[in-house]
Structure 1
Amino acid sequence: MNKLAYSINETARLLSMGRTSIYGMIADGRLEAFKLGTRTLIKAESIRRLVDGKA
């Protein structure tokens, strides 16, 4: 089963970027995040759209 969401740290590693950059992309709407308890997670579909240049 493929992952549906990634943590901030996992997303940063996947995209070879820093956490600050990930939070910046969340703030400007390029990545779609949601809270699950205290964790902030990024939807896998959102990461795929960004990599495909559709974000």
Structure 2
Amino acid sequence: MKYIDNDNVYNSELYKVLEDISAQWDLYLTNTYSLEELQQLDFSKVKLPKEWFDGWLKELS
């Protein structure tokens, strides 16, 4: 598989959605857990609301 080396990728809708997911992940953790909880948290158990992914999928459709 070849990697895409194109600046247009960063202007694509997919990239915008990926940036939003990353930002929402950080905000969700910050607003949901205390510092002490975050230090002990198993991040693989944390799930963002399914509705958010439904919205992001609609943006890409």
**Under a length normalisation based on structure 2, what TM-score does the superposition of the two structures give?**
0.28
Q: Which has the higher strand share?
A: 1
**Under a length normalisation based on structure 1, what TM-score does the superposition of the two structures give?**
0.29
